[in-house]
Amino acid sequence: MRARVVHAIPGRVRIRLTDVDPTALLSLRQRLSTLPGVQEVRANPRTGSLLLRGDAVMPQSLTSTANGLGFPLDDLPEVRPLVDHFLDGFDAADVGLRRATGGQLDIASVAMLALLGTAVVQIVRGRFAAPAITILWYAASTVLMARSVRRAPG
């Protein structure tokens, strides 16, 4: 029996096992649920997978336990914070926008222009108080953040 981590985020790991019968899978679920830091283990006999949740659940911490239980883990993925996955998508969209506009626009520029446009609309409508000032503040902050990122060393 071999096992592979198919998805992992801090506190949640899904393991897919090959050549495992439902009885063995349920036995593994029972044994894994007694580990310190594991709060929940779900077994899915149809897919041959185990879902582990808990404070100390990380693929790297499960390696020796899995070996001891007879299902060595293959191909441990790097566990990254969820925000990193969001930023990867954001960066890809930014690169695509720069490529599509010949480098003239990036997401920060579009956000700043949208916020400035919204602020102008609020001012034209006579709403000088919080909405226009807040939107101008966000537009300025966007510019300053983009500027500091571009000037950062490296």
pLDDT at residue 61, as a whole number:
65
Provide the angle, in degrees to the nearest 10, between the axes of the packed helices 22-32 and 59-69. Answer: 120
- DSSP assignment, residue 3? E
**Higher pLDDT residue, 141 or 23?**
23
pLDDT at residue 103, as a whole number:
93
Residue 23 Cα distances to 20, 35, 48, 63, angstroms: 8, 20, 11, 22
Q: Count how many residues are written for the chain.
A: 154
What is the pTM assigned to this prediction? 0.48
pLDDT tens-digit map of 98-112: 999 999 998 888 888
**% of the chain beyond a pLDDT of 90:** 14
Which residue type, as a one-letter code, is found at position 31?
A: R
**CB of 75 closer than 8 Å to CB of 4:** yes
pLDDT at residue 116, as a whole number:
85
pLDDT at residue 41, as a whole number:
93
Highest mean pLDDT out of 47-61, 94-108, 109-123: 94-108
Residues with Cβ < 8 Å from 111, sequence gap 6 or more? 142
Has residue 34 got a pLDDT over 90?
no
CA distance 51 to 14: 4
**% of the chain beyond a pLDDT of 70:** 71
Average model confidence (pLDDT) across the chain: 79
Domains of the chain and CATH, by start? 2-74 (3.30.70.100), 83-151 (no CATH)
Taking the chain, what is the end-to-end CA distance rounded to the nearest angstrom?
46
Residues with Cβ < 8 Å from 69, sequence gap 6 or more? 28, 31, 32
